[in-house]
Structure 1
Amino acid sequence: MKFFLMLCCVVVCITAHTQSRRIIVTVSDDNHLPVTGASIELKNAAAGVSDSTGRYIFRQVSPGPYEAKVSMQGYKTVIKTGVLKNTDVSLIIRLHPESHTLQEVVVQNNSITTRKKEAMLNMDIVKAGFIQQHLGGSLMQSLQRLPGVKTIGIGSGQSKPLIRGLGFNRVVVLDRGIKHEGQQWGADHGLEIDQFAVQEVEILKGPASFAYGSDAIAGAVNIRRPPLPAPHSFGGDVNLIGKTNNDLLGTSVNMYYRTKKWMTAARFTIQDYGDYKVPADRLYIYDFAVDLYQNYLRNTAGRETGIHFSTGYTGNRLKSIFYLSNIYSKTGFFANAHGLEPRQVDAPMHDAGSRDILSPYQRVNHLKILNHTTYTLNDHQLELETGFQNNLRQEYNHYVNHGYMPAIYPDSLNIPRNLERAFDKNVYSLNLRDHIKIGNHQLETGINGEIQNNTINGWSFLVPAFNQQNLGAYVYDKWRVSEKLLLHGAMRYDHVHLAMKKYTDWFPSASTVNGTAEKEYLVRADNINRSFNSVTGSLGINYNTNRWELKGNIGKSFRVPIAKELGANGVNYHYFSYEKGYAQLKPEESYQLDLGTAYDNSIVRVQFNPFFNYFPNYIYLNPTAGHDYFYGAGNQIFEYAQARVMRYGGELQVKYQPWENLSAEVLGEYIYAKQLSGDKKGYTLPFSPPASVLFNVTYQPVHTGILTNTYLSVDYRITAAQNNIVPPEKKTEGYNLLNIQAGTSFPLQGQKIEVSLQLQNVLDAKYLSHTSFYRLIGLPEQGRNLVLSLRIPFSFKPAVHP
């Protein structure tokens, strides 16, 4: 009898489960854009919050009447009722704002604050509005207002990221979940990202190798996937930009279309700019005097284009989006500072026009094809990301012979006469993740795989060609112990194999063998095969109350030595140096402790994020007493070596908002680094940014008639002198910088036009940035620059088909 009753209970439970259905709620606003963070309540069921696509799914809902309530601060509450039968129900709910003034601010702040509170690492999150307000020549230049974030600037349109003083291959850049792979090792190689196509960026500070593998030793710049357009929407926007310093003109046009389940979007960006100005009319490059015509840097003009296309399907369980982009740029190198030594140039020819691009210059083309697919199955959310990238970078210059190179370029050489160097990299990537919720645990497991093939060309040699394979697996657990306490734990294993290819000179060099003078083709790089294995991990804790946020994280990261560090053997024309790799370098390891504390009482917010970092085997480029005469003009030889390094510092943010329309903010940062062993024991690290503090005052009037989101903002940055250097670096003096931003929005035929204006370097200050590429030759940063940008959105109401 007991067995029979138990059997009946099981049958009833199974029957009830099989009869349960799902209610899928999608929330959007008046512009058909998804609303993130909306509270969704189902009567007699648990409540939820809409995700970045505006969706939340109620699972295992019993058939019968239902009542769904959607609410969000700044919007009118919506209640929908109906009857759930034998099929799933999809509810599309449109929220209408109660106050246009509060609409965007409330949505963004709530979502960002929650994500930052629950993240294991210290994190900054910015949206497209922040980028437009602080628009620089590149994405990273637009982001360097954030504390702890700097750039290695290359002229007016190229830059690469520094996080807490570390950059190059120590910072991972992710674009839609896939590692962005270019030629990260070069200070003159910019980041091939179209900032107009960026909707949201996460800056992760700290040991992020557990999630992204090698190179995330300092952190990551995560360019997140843009939210999908709302169902049955059709629209886009036009961005216009102009700059006075280098006479830049640019536009970016975006369009999207979505039915209920299918979407397509496209964007085209083009920018054209001339030589940029500095507040100086004469420079001294290694004591070589260079006069500047009307303050212009010769041959720093450029052109950039970006083409983007995405299409895909989104259903109740399956979502798959394909993305294609092609970023192309042609930019000149400052003509007086590219080569084996400072040299005279044809000044009348270069000064005849500010927009022409003459030798030396570079062409970079980055092709990217990605797919992101998610599939929801019960308590699992599976994610698959696949990608292909091709990065082609070519440097062009007049042929100049040095050492034993022939005086006249041979016609028989199968290399274009002006192709100095070329790097052609193909990258195949795969990420597979599974998100599982078990009780109070949110588990994430995943594997990452990557194959790289990098070939070289040109009559000059620096870095050998190579093939590289990466494979990693990890597990991450976020355990919600209580409403206030979160614990984090992660573990990862990586295997990397790197095979570098032999390179022999195309010209003979003189040598002496047993007292006899001979000529031979010297081998610059040998075949090298290295395999690396690493286990990394991280532990973290978050404790959040209504006003306090406390965070702690300790972790280990790693980085495999790159081909340049292992096999370089040539002149770096941009540094006037001869660089040599060391084939026996060990993988770089980093141990880091990160802390974070924040207090917020709605009027004052104070946040302090200190860190301590130790490298047992930091890889650095060490200047020696030797000089090269085979391939250069007596350039000093630099060799890669390893040393123990200790670093510490932190960021401080204080925001005071006594009234709704007025706020003041202080952003400070400090980094100290010291080498504890090796030839440079006692010195710091190259490109170590000096301490700085930024003071900001922002006024946002509440009532401005037809104008909305109006603001006037003033930034005043004080940067200390950097006297703690590594020879042959030079000290840089401190400086003060004043920037002004203003903007507003106004309606035009039913659309909201956004206008922003910046005046950068208001006082036309002459200063050197210690993290600038051109700082090495004493070249100051850009002078005064007025930036005007205009965003014009448009939308249509397509016919809705059942």
Structure 2
Amino acid sequence: MRKLCGVFVAIFILGSAINAQDLYILSGAVTDNDNSVLPGASVVLSSGKKGTVTDADGHFSFSELKAGTYFISVSFVGYKTFRDTLKIRSDQNVHIKLQPSVMTLNEVVVKDNYAQKQKREDSRNIEVVNDRFVKMNLSGSLMKSLERLPGVSTIDIGSGQSKPVIRGLGFNRIVVAENGIKHEGQQWGEDHGLEIDQYAVDRVEVVKGPASLMFGSDAIGGVINIKQLDVPAENSYGGSVDLTGKSNNDLLGTSVDVFARKKALYFTGRVTLLDYGDYRVPTDRVEIYSYKAALYKNFLRNTAGNEQDFHLSFGAIGQQFTTRFYFSDLFSKSGFFANAHGLEPRNVDTALHDRSSRDVQYPYQEVSHLKATNQSEWHGENFNVEMELGFQNNSRKEWSQYVSHGYMPANFPDTMSFDADLERQFDKDVYSGNLKVSFETIESLSLTAGVNSEFQNNDIGGRGFIIPAFTQIAAGTFLYGKYYLSPNSILQAGLRFDYGEINTEEYSDWFPSPVVTDDDTVWSYLQRAPEMTRIFHNISWSVGFNQNWEKVSLKANIGKSFRMPIAKELAANGVNYHRFSYEVGDPDLSAEVSYQLDLGGEYNSGDFAVGLSPFVNYFPNYIYLNPTSEHDRLYGNGNQVFYYMQSEVLRFGGEIHVHYRVFNPLTVGMIGEYVYSEQLSGEKKGFTLPFSPPASLLFNAKYSKENIGWFKSPYFSVDYKLVARQTRIVAPEEKTPGYQVVNLSLGGDVGFRNQKISIAFQIQNLFNRKYFNHTSYYRLINVPEAGRNFVLNINIPFNNNFKK
């Protein structure tokens, strides 16, 4: 590592010492094979720090270029990217012709200019999708809509809550970032979804594998990077209306956005409203351990909910400086399956719940997430400065009827400061700041240095306890370099140092319990969690290589990542009513460390494409929740006791995709994924990891044409998904049988008064199959996945220009 840092510093000093030279102009035109101009093509010089787009006549120009060798990259949607080396010694004019190309990873990866650049120049395995992909695969949440991507699955609760799993890792091992700021809620819980509005998404980048170098702790398993990029055109205004309906849970929703821009100043706004009822499953009863709970008309009672989201952004665009402010406030209210909460399925008032499928009764949760962030960027001739500042407040309340357990009083005392039916409350404030500086030292080398910092304060309330209140500080600094060995060969390396500190507060029960001594029995308020301070620090690193030819691209990346334990893993001591367990933390846990090797290769001849992305992952000290034979009768309502422990873990697997264009409108393809995990030490030696996803294959056929009459860009797609059975489990998980499911989708654009109305229609689970998702939260109590679901989304844009 010292040698690597020394190389970076030496190259930086050498580049800074280069004297000023004469300046030249590079201009040119971009066309296709028939010499038709390509307006809007992306033209990038060197390592991406100089870029422009072609004008209406296909022309581009760069001025004030120093003499030297430049790498030029030209890309346009539907064409192969052009790459070459130019030696600038005088003013030059070039003519570049682009060759047509097939869309690789049909309907999965958006092969626009940015996506191509990211996949070919990043040594990690990365997928990029846009808002059109999200709406074509619209589900109950953004994470569920992304599940069609290879290597991505979800842990679901109901029809509107889910959290991402990348290659079998989830919870606090996956970072979800929105506009550069890490999203922080209560994502440690199985029932806690992510407060993200999927209608307010322009682009999503999914990094599969460790990404701690840029994002720090918690990115040990991957990153979901969400971006809202749309900047309105100058002197324009308008917006769009999304109308959504779903048959399975009778969802009705709308999302309306507006925008306006004069010159440098602009703003955008969005309001999303969703209301849905209980969702249906293809069974009339659910077996909850030894009790069979009957379902009324196949409804999973009390899984209805509603959501109200508000977004506002405004900013200024300059020649060298741009800044943008984002504000969002998301609120949701959703019920928990009444027969599952607290393991009291026999005591459910079925007459009350079955009276209406749209009401929300006890138990339910209310979640509000407020976010305010700023992104600013300053462009220099050979450098770029980016700064991101953010504040978040996450407030979660879980409500259920008061029932005494253990030594809790039969009647709730009226002297308490909280409501008797407030089961739990979490209130988190988060302050974040990122600074990143990118610069070129010589023409073929770019360096990026940065710092990240975050402060969290999480307060708790309510009658139940599982984790104490805590504060947490995390800070890190990194240096990352990208060196172009040739126009087609890229070497990347990075180094990062992280510091973290977590402070938990003391907590004692609000009711007394008997404590037996030798001579007497004393009633006292038992301490559940002591005051505690833990400090962690770590050095992470990464080295990668990309090799790109016309039809073949190869990549490799090896690195070390780190994750500091969260408050629940260190200090939990209470009932998890949603998992039917009593969980106990370990204050002596060490920080997780991960070593991973990622490989990738793709062949693309135009009509045929095949890609493979294997990985090997080793944890010396993976943190997991270990079930025991103990049951806590007094404070845990008889639930099984689980302890947080650490073990040595080996993981490997990967993804494969194959696509072939049979003839011009028809493309067929296959996507496969597999993950193997094994604990190499500890009490569960030889076992896999909890919630390990089974192997799966997805076969797709898509028919799409440019136009069919008045229907523009129509498509019809069939997905046939096969999922293997999962027999490698960790108790109390159940073995899950394999299944097959068929999904249909069709859509396109309809012209109306110079506007383009987009229609996307899906039939999910076409044959109404009963099957179980092994990574679902409700799998533990044998709740199958949702039945047949018709989904319709209509996007109606409206826009115009200000009169000059």
Q: 1:471 to 1:733 in 2, by over 3 A?
A: same
Matched, 1:579 2:583: yes
Q: 1:230 to 1:22 in 2, by over 3 A?
A: farther
Show the counterpart of 2:32. none
Show the counterpart of 1:478. 482
Matched, 1:711 2:715: yes
Shift of 1:158: 0.7
Question: What whole-Å deviation, never above 9, does each CA across 1:113-146 have from its counterpart, x for those lacking one?
Answer: 2221111210011011111111111001101001
Show the counterpart of 1:128. 131
**CA distance in 1 between partners of 2:290 and 2:499 (Å):** 48
- Equivalent positions of 1:705-744 (< 5 A) are 705-744=709-748
Show the counterpart of 1:630. 634
Show the counterpart of 1:782. 786
Query: Secondary structure at 1:788's aligned position in 2?
Result: strand
**CA distance in 1 between partners of 2:41 and 2:481 (Å):** 23
**CA distance in 2 between partners of 1:793 and 1:36 (Å):** 22
Q: Which one-letter code corresponds to 2:717 in the other structure?
A: S
Q: 1:735 to 1:208 in 2, by over 3 A?
A: same
Show the counterpart of 1:85. none
Shift of 1:74: 7.9
Q: 1:718 to 1:522 in 2, by over 3 A?
A: same
**CA distance in 2 between partners of 1:752 and 1:583 (Å):** 58
Matched, 1:402 2:405: yes
Shift of 1:602: 0.4
**CA distance in 2 between partners of 1:458 and 1:259 (Å):** 50
Matched, 1:306 2:309: yes
| 1:493 aligned to which of 481, 494, 497 | 497
Matched, 1:111 2:95: no
| 1:179 aligned to which of 182, 192, 204 | 182
Query: Secondary structure at 1:564's aligned position in 2?
Result: helix
Q: Which one-letter code corresponds to 1:714 in the other structure?
A: V
**CA distance in 2 between partners of 1:120 and 1:74 (Å):** 23
**CA distance in 1 between partners of 2:364 and 2:116 (Å):** 44
| 2:349 aligned to which of 326, 346, 349 | 346
Show the counterpart of 1:214. 217
Question: What whole-Å deviation, never above 9, does each CA across 1:577-626 have from its counterpart, x for those lacking one?
Answer: 10000000000010000000110000111000000000000000011121
- Equivalent positions of 1:1-20 (< 5 A) are none
Show the counterpart of 2:258. 255
| 2:328 aligned to which of 325, 328, 331 | 325
Q: 1:504 to 1:681 in 2, by over 3 A?
A: same
Query: Secondary structure at 1:276's aligned position in 2?
Result: coil
Residue pair 1:39, 1:72 contacting (<8 A) in 2 also:
no
Q: How many residues align?
A: 739
Show the counterpart of 2:556. 552
Question: TM (normalized to structure 2)?
Answer: 0.89
Matched, 1:536 2:540: yes
**CA distance in 1 between partners of 2:459 and 2:796 (Å):** 43
Shift of 1:218: 0.6
- Equivalent positions of 1:629-648 (< 5 A) are 629-648=633-652
| 1:699 aligned to which of 692, 697, 703 | 703
Show the counterpart of 2:654. 650
Shift of 1:380: 1.1
Question: TM (normalized to structure 1)?
Answer: 0.89
**CA distance in 2 between partners of 1:372 and 1:211 (Å):** 16
Shift of 1:225: 3.2
Q: Which one-letter code corresponds to 2:714 in the other structure?
A: T
Shift of 1:746: 1.0
Matched, 1:598 2:602: yes
Question: What whole-Å deviation, never above 9, does each CA across 1:761-789 have from its counterpart, x for those lacking one?
Answer: 00000011000000010000100000011
Residue pair 2:338, 2:345 contacting (<8 A) in 1 also:
no
Shift of 1:459: 0.4
Show the counterpart of 1:10. none
**CA distance in 2 between partners of 1:691 and 1:305 (Å):** 37
Q: Which one-letter code corresponds to 1:430 in the other structure?
A: G
Question: What whole-Å deviation, never above 9, does each CA across 1:198-245 have from its counterpart, x for those lacking one?
Answer: 011000011100110000001100002313122121111110000000
Show the counterpart of 2:415. 412
**CA distance in 1 between partners of 2:591 and 2:39 (Å):** 44
Residue pair 2:618, 2:651 contacting (<8 A) in 1 also:
yes
Task: Please say which of residues 283-292 and 355-364 is displaced more in the overlay.
Answer: 283-292
**CA distance in 2 between partners of 1:373 and 1:59 (Å):** 25
Query: Secondary structure at 1:335's aligned position in 2?
Result: coil
Give the percent of matched residue pairs that are identical in Structure 1 and Structure 2. Answer: 49
**CA distance in 1 between partners of 2:618 and 2:659 (Å):** 31
Question: What whole-Å deviation, never above 9, does each CA across 1:637-677 have from its counterpart, x for those lacking one?
Answer: 10000000000000000011132211001000000000001
Q: Which one-letter code corresponds to 2:708 in the other structure?
A: T
Query: Secondary structure at 2:116's aligned position in 1?
Result: helix
**CA distance in 1 between partners of 2:60 and 2:290 (Å):** 65
Question: What whole-Å deviation, never above 9, does each CA across 1:461-486 have from its counterpart, x for those lacking one?
Answer: 00111000111000111111101110
Question: What whole-Å deviation, never above 9, does each CA across 1:378-433 have from its counterpart, x for those lacking one?
Answer: 21110010000000011000011000100100000111111000100000000000
Q: Which one-letter code corresponds to 2:376 in the other structure?
A: T
Shift of 1:340: 4.4
Show the counterpart of 2:87. none
- Equivalent positions of 1:121-520 (< 5 A) are 121-438=124-441, 439-520=443-524
Query: Secondary structure at 1:196's aligned position in 2?
Result: helix
Q: Which one-letter code corresponds to 1:255 in the other structure?
A: V
Shift of 1:703: 3.6
Query: Secondary structure at 2:347's aligned position in 1?
Result: coil
Residue pair 2:564, 2:591 contacting (<8 A) in 1 also:
yes
Residue pair 1:340, 1:571 contacting (<8 A) in 2 also:
no
**CA distance in 2 between partners of 1:596 and 1:40 (Å):** 24
Q: Which one-letter code corresponds to 2:628 in the other structure?
A: T
Q: Which one-letter code corresponds to 2:780 in the other structure?
A: L
Show the counterpart of 1:618. 622
Show the counterpart of 2:750. 746
Residue pair 1:300, 1:357 contacting (<8 A) in 2 also:
yes
Q: 1:742 to 1:112 in 2, by over 3 A?
A: same
**CA distance in 2 between partners of 1:729 and 1:387 (Å):** 39
Q: Which one-letter code corresponds to 1:601 in the other structure?
A: S
| 2:530 aligned to which of 526, 529, 540 | 526
Residue pair 1:605, 1:655 contacting (<8 A) in 2 also:
yes
Give unmatched runs, 5+ long, in structure 1: 1-12, 26-33, 63-69, 76-98
- Equivalent positions of 1:66-85 (< 5 A) are none
Q: 1:219 to 1:50 in 2, by over 3 A?
A: farther
Q: 1:237 to 1:221 in 2, by over 3 A?
A: same
Shift of 1:442: 1.7
Show the counterpart of 2:15. none
Give unmatched runs, 5+ long, in structure 2: 1-18, 30-37, 67-73, 80-99
Query: Secondary structure at 2:300's aligned position in 1?
Result: coil
| 2:773 aligned to which of 752, 756, 769 | 769
Task: Please say which of residues 711-720 and 620-629 is displaced more in the overlay.
Answer: 620-629
Residue pair 2:293, 2:345 contacting (<8 A) in 1 also:
no
Shift of 1:37: 4.5
**CA distance in 1 between partners of 2:347 and 2:749 (Å):** 50
Residue pair 2:701, 2:718 contacting (<8 A) in 1 also:
yes
Query: Secondary structure at 1:211's aligned position in 2?
Result: helix
Query: Secondary structure at 1:350's aligned position in 2?
Result: helix
Q: Which one-letter code corresponds to 2:340 in the other structure?
A: A
**CA distance in 2 between partners of 1:73 and 1:785 (Å):** 33
Residue pair 1:48, 1:56 contacting (<8 A) in 2 also:
no
- Equivalent positions of 1:43-82 (< 5 A) are 48-50=51-53, 58=62, 60=64
Question: What whole-Å deviation, never above 9, does each CA across 1:520-550 have from its counterpart, x for those lacking one?
Answer: 1100000010000000010000001001111
Show the counterpart of 1:93. none
**CA distance in 2 between partners of 1:366 and 1:427 (Å):** 11
Residue pair 1:36, 1:111 contacting (<8 A) in 2 also:
no
Shift of 1:72: 5.3
Following superposition, which runs of at least 4 residues in structure 1 exceed 6 angstroms of deviation?
13-17, 20-23, 54-57, 104-107
**CA distance in 2 between partners of 1:347 and 1:74 (Å):** 56
Residue pair 1:700, 1:712 contacting (<8 A) in 2 also:
yes
